Amino acid sequence: MRRVIIAGNWKMNKNISESIDLANSIKRSLYDIEEVEIVICPPFTSLSDVNEITMETNIKLGAQDCFWEKEGAFTGEVSAGMLKSVGCEYCIIGHSERRQFFGETNETVNKKLKVLLKENIKPIVCVGEKLEERKSGRTFDVIKDHVVNSLAGISKEEMVRTVIAYEPVWAIGTGVNATKEQAEEAHKYIRTLLGQMHGDDVAKSVRIQYGGSVKPENIKELILQEDVDGALVGGASLKADSFVQLVKNCL
Ligand code: 13P
């Protein structure tokens, strides 16, 4: 059985005191939830303080990106080892905002994936098509390109430790989520690709989150789909009330 995983991607929001407040509220309300795996991904500057709050609780800590080199003259970058040292168990890579604004490619995602796996941090690899790609019938081609190339060259065991987030770009921050049918269709296709790459047993074990305008009101119908194993949540993860409700609605 794949355990549902709900991850909050705070993006570039919350200074340190705001992060502490939000993490404390989430912990207070969700401390006894075991059925759902809960991850919060604050900005780099808040990771250390949030780790003090989530350490040894059921709330896991994640980062929003990393660099693939171990150390050195790479001004502004943060290594996987540094993320490990601050308590991160997860790290988002390949988010569409990074692909769109910061030159992220499947090749750079793949390098980050490998270094995270080596550091024993679970990668959350984002894939998904833009609106014009969907409109021109290229959704599956884009998903295949992202999945096959971002996830190239890893072992079956590493694949099972990796989480995939299907985030159609047109659904991110727009209030228009993919319908449950659209999400299931994409997730099923991703699982088929994983089966071709690593065999059916691996494909059945990998968790695939949906992301894009997920709210407390729509989470249930999404996770009831056979191949939807949770959500990567932006806007609705920034307020304790909505994130807590969203997690509780998965139970
Ligand atoms: P929203 O939930 O705000 O649409 O953002 C989704 C997202 O990009 C999560 O990574």
Q: What is the CATH number of the domain that holds 229?
A: 3.20.20.70
Instruction: Take atom 5 of ligand 1 and give the residue whose Cα is closest.
Output: 234
Residue range 13-44, pLDDT digits in tens: 999 999 999 999 999 999 999 999 999 999 99
Predicted local confidence at residue 62, as pLDDT: 99
Predicted local confidence at residue 251, as pLDDT: 96
Token couple for 110: 């793949």
Token couple for 95: 């988010």
Predicted local confidence at residue 1, as pLDDT: 81
Average pLDDT over residues 173-202: 98
Whether the model clears a pTM of 0.95, i.e. scores above it, the answer is yes
DSSP letter for 179, please.
Answer: P
User: Amino acid identity of 208?
Assistant: I
Residue range 216-243, pLDDT digits in tens: 999 999 999 999 999 999 999 999 999 9
Cα of 63 to ligand 1 centre, how many Å?
15
Q: Name the pLDDT band for 96 (thresholds 50, 70, 90).
A: very high
DSSP letter for 4, please.
Answer: P
Catalytic residues: 95, 167
CB 4 within 8 A of CB 223: yes
Number of domains in the chain: 1
Domain encompassing residue 144: 5-248
pLDDT at residue 210 above 90? yes
Average pLDDT over residues 161-182: 98
CB 96 within 8 A of CB 124: no
Report the alpha-carbon distance of residue 135 to residue 137 in Å, rounded: 5
CB atoms within 10 A of CB 66: 27
Average pLDDT over residues 145-166: 98
* For ligand 1, mutation pick of 104, 127, 164, 167 (most atoms within 8 Å of CB): 167
Q: Name the pLDDT band for 45 (thresholds 50, 70, 90).
A: very high
CB 233 within 8 A of CB 6: yes
Cα of 165 to ligand 1 centre, how many Å?
11
- Ligand 1 binding residues, C-beta < 6 A: 9, 95, 167, 172-173, 211-214, 232-236
Average pLDDT over residues 138-149: 98
Residue range 72-83, pLDDT digits in tens: 999 999 999 999
pLDDT at residue 111 above 90? yes
